[in-house]
């Protein structure tokens, strides 16, 4: 769960939604409520077939090597990897050829905080790091699977405890030195031993070895289906073993990786600039000479800079400004399917919210449709399952508690608080969407005589308040960082194993927790899907939170930008992006 806001930036999560396209008047509608395909065990995973170097067809790499010898049991790459050129990036015009050169300038509302992948938490830090470093696997275009990347294929043993990864042999770091299995082992060992960040995702790994220069073997403590997805996480990015002979602190001042770009400079609080990596392994890429992320905290200023052609891409313009931006000549507004879902958390350490009928009453009372119109200006959609449709195993038939005031009154009547009560709601003070949600919720709970007082806190206070359970109701959002539901589901439903007290609600249903652990170790896609459907249904009935909206990622960019595509996990591959001059 990287952090970023829903309005001008941060929030957390994954989720999807339809996107409107712009460049050549092609309109691409997207997925939303469709059931998601499950990973299919039983085949060897390999990189996709080679594509012409100058074709801007998407994020997938070319493959020069064939798959490894058939293992005892193997996993298939995602469906999307089988035909990478079948889904062109929405903002690319197929008729146009990429033009090399140019500096792509983003404006971000939050500055990058670190150049160390294992320490990166905020999305504004993660996205630039994705350009410097790469991972063994990557999220597929639809956000539901993993594709080969620095590892071109892999096998898994019959007991599902040993994974063997075969590395690409044409990968070099930006200093020209080759990437080997020793680098992979060093990087992954460092990531999983880091205290904090996202190392919890690697907790199933027992040992990593490098039997030869192009093979990496990962042993897990128990069968662990999400491993491929975990390896696609930015924190598991690859850099030179022993930091290339430098001290760790020195290396992290100017790190190198295998990414399409290499660091030019990071002026803290001002800008981060990366330049083309001359040793990048994808022939002819990247097209851009450089990419710059400038730090522009004010929403209006970012918009004005885009209008003034001072920047190329405004990251996360406020939803309220999108309609106006759409009328501007030379500017494209695009929303991308995300896996971002917003919630009202209910702290079960507070007596009122320990009562399931109170929680269900609140879930029924919330008119998420009206809230979406007012708070998201129509750009969000009402959520049902607490998982996003872009996440694998999302169940569109989840029996959720839809807005119904009669049911709400009935549930409250069955609770220990039939006459209502006074409560407080925690919202972030720097996010317009959150504040709007809080204010609308205040009104929507009035008929139940639940009087809500808003408790506005800034980002510096938000996490510590949540982690100490020092709240009653609280706005939060989730965006999965990996193409597997396990990160989100364990975080939100397993108070101990997930490490965060079920998103600081203290929700604990032993049956759900058992299903979560079964699903983590289940390699049969059908059985896994059944488990996740049961989890979604049970959580909907237990209502540890009221599910609000699926929120898209919103970007505004110059018409000169081509090939820009945002994955449901929120990241992007800029080696495929080019600027028309």
Binding-site ranges for another protein (CB under 8 A): 1, 3, 12, 107, 111, 113-114, 119, 121, 195-198, 200, 267-270, 294-298, 300-301, 304-305, 307-308, 310, 430, 457-461, 463-467, 491, 499-500, 504
At its nearest, how many Å lie between another protein and the CB of residue 311?
Answer: 9
Is the separation of the CB atoms in 288 and 313 below 8 Å?
no
Is the separation of the CB atoms in 546 and 450 below 8 Å?
no
For residue 447, give the DSSP letter: G
* Between 54 and 464, CB nearer to another protein: 464
At its nearest, how many Å lie between another protein and the CB of residue 501?
Answer: 10
Phi, psi of 511 (to 5 degrees): -65, -45
SS (H, E, C) 87-116: CCCCCCCCCCCCCCCCEEEEEECCCCCCCC
At its nearest, how many Å lie between another protein and the CB of residue 178?
Answer: 31
At its nearest, how many Å lie between another protein and the CB of residue 579?
Answer: 19
At its nearest, how many Å lie between another protein and the CB of residue 152?
Answer: 31
- DSSP β-ladder status, 473-479 and 313-315: unpaired
* Between 468 and 581, CB nearer to another protein: 468
* Between 245 and 460, CB nearer to another protein: 460
* Between 307 and 524, CB nearer to another protein: 307
For residue 479, give the DSSP letter: E
* Between 384 and 427, CB nearer to another protein: 427
Burial class of residue 86 in the structure, from the number of CB atoms within 10 Å of its CB (0-12 exposed, 13-18 middle, 19+ buried): exposed
* Between 115 and 450, CB nearer to another protein: 115
| Other CB atoms within 10 Å distance of the CB of residue 496 | 11
What would the DSSP string read from start to end of 300-312?
Answer: HHHHHHHHTTS-S
The kind and range of the H/E element at 517 are: helix 510-521
287: left (phi over 0), alpha (psi -120 to 50) or beta: alpha
At its nearest, how many Å lie between another protein and the CB of residue 460?
Answer: 4
At its nearest, how many Å lie between another protein and the CB of residue 199?
Answer: 9
Alpha helices (H) along 318-457: 319-326, 351-354, 356-365, 368-375, 405-414, 432-444
* Between 108 and 141, CB nearer to another protein: 108
The C-alpha atoms of residue 192 and residue 300 are separated, in whole angstroms, by 40
Is the separation of the CB atoms in 173 and 257 below 8 Å?
yes
* Between 214 and 272, CB nearer to another protein: 272
Q: Which two tokens stand for residue 35?
A: 């059931």
* Between 127 and 281, CB nearer to another protein: 127
Q: Which among 560, 143, 576, 181 has a CA at the least distance from the CA of 389?
A: 143
SS (H, E, C) 323-361: HHHHCCCCEEEEEEEEEEEEEEEECCCCHHHHCHHHHHH
Is the separation of the CB atoms in 344 and 442 below 8 Å?
no
* Between 194 and 523, CB nearer to another protein: 194
* Between 310 and 414, CB nearer to another protein: 310
Q: Which two tokens stand for residue 518?
A: 């079964």
At its nearest, how many Å lie between another protein and the CB of residue 380?
Answer: 22
At its nearest, how many Å lie between another protein and the CB of residue 306?
Answer: 9
Is the separation of the CB atoms in 374 and 436 below 8 Å?
yes
The SS3 assignment for 544 reads coil
At its nearest, how many Å lie between another protein and the CB of residue 192?
Answer: 14
Is the separation of the CB atoms in 416 and 445 below 8 Å?
no
At its nearest, how many Å lie between another protein and the CB of residue 310?
Answer: 5
* Between 59 and 501, CB nearer to another protein: 501
The kind and range of the H/E element at 275 are: strand 271-276
At its nearest, how many Å lie between another protein and the CB of residue 14?
Answer: 15
Distance of alpha carbon 198 from the chain centroid = 13
């Amino acid at each position: 769960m990287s952090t970023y806001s829903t309005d001008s930036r941060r929030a957390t999560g994954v989720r999807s939604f339809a996107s409107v396209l712009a460049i050549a008047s092609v309109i691409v509608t997207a997925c939303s409520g469709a059931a998601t395909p499950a990973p299919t065990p039983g085949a060897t995973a390999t990189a996709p077939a080679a594509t012409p170097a100058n074709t801007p067809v998407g994020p997938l790499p070319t493959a020069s090597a064939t798959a490894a010898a058939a293992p005892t049991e193997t996993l298939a790459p995602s469906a999307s990897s089988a035909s990478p050129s079948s889904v062109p990036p929405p903002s690319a015009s197929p008729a146009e050829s990429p033009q090399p050169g140019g500096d792509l300038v983003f404006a971000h509302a939050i500055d990058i905080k670190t150049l160390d992948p294992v320490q990166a938490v905020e999305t504004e830090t993660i996205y630039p790091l994705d350009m410097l470093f790469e991972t063994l696997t990557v999220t597929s275009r639809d956000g539901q699977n993993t594709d080969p990347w620095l590892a071109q294929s892999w096998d898994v043993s019959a007991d599902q405890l040993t994974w063997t990864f075969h590395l690409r042999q044409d990968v070099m770091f930006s200093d020209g030195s080759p990437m080997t299995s020793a680098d992979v082992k060093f990087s992954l060992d460092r990531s999983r031993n880091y205290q904090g960040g996202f190392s919890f995702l690697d907790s199933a790994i027992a040992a990593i070895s490098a039997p030869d220069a192009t093979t990496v073997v990962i042993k897990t403590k128990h069968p662990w289906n999400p491993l491929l997805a975990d390896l696609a996480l930015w924190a598991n990015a690859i850099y030179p073993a022993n930091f290339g002979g430098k001290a760790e602190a020195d290396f992290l001042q100017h790190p190198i990786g295998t990414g399409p770009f290499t660091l030019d400079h990071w002026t803290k609080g001002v800008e981060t600039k990366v330049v083309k990596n001359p040793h990048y392994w994808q022939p002819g890429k990247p097209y851009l000479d450089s990419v710059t992320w400038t730090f522009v905290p004010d929403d209006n200023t970012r918009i004005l800079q885009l209008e003034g052609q001072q920047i190329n891409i405004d990251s996360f313009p406020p939803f309220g400004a999108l309609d106006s931006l759409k009328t501007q000549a030379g500017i494209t507004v695009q929303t991308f399917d995300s896996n971002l879902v917003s919630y009202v958390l209910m702290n079960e350490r507070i007596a009122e919210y320990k009562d399931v009928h109170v929680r269900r009453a609140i879930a029924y009372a919330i008119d998420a449709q009206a809230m979406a119109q007012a708070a998201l200006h129509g750009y969000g959609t009402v959520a049902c399952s607490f998982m996003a449709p872009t996440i694998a195993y999302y169940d569109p038939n989840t029996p959720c508690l839809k807005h119904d005031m009669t049911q709400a009154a009935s549930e409250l009547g069955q609770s220990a608080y039939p006459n209502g009560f006074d409560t407080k709601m925690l919202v972030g003070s720097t996010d317009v969407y959150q504040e709007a949600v809080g204010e609308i919720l205040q009104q929507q709970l009035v008929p139940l005589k639940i009087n809500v007082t808003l408790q506005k806190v800034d980002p510096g206070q938000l996490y510590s308040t949540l982690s100490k359970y020092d709240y009653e109701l609280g706005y939060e959002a989730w965006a999965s960082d990996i193409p597997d539901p396990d990160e989100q589901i364990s975080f939100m439903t397993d108070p101990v194993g997930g490490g965060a007290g079920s998103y600081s609600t203290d929700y604990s249903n032993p049956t759900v927790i058992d299903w979560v652990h079964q699903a983590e170790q289940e390699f049969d896609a059908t059985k896994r899907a059944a488990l996740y459907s049961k989890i979604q249904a049970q959580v909907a009935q237990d209502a540890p939170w009221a599910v609000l909206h699926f929120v898209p990622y919103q970007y505004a960019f110059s018409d000169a930008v081509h090939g820009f595509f945002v994955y449901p996990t929120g990241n992007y591959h800029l080696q495929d992006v080019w600027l028309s001059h």
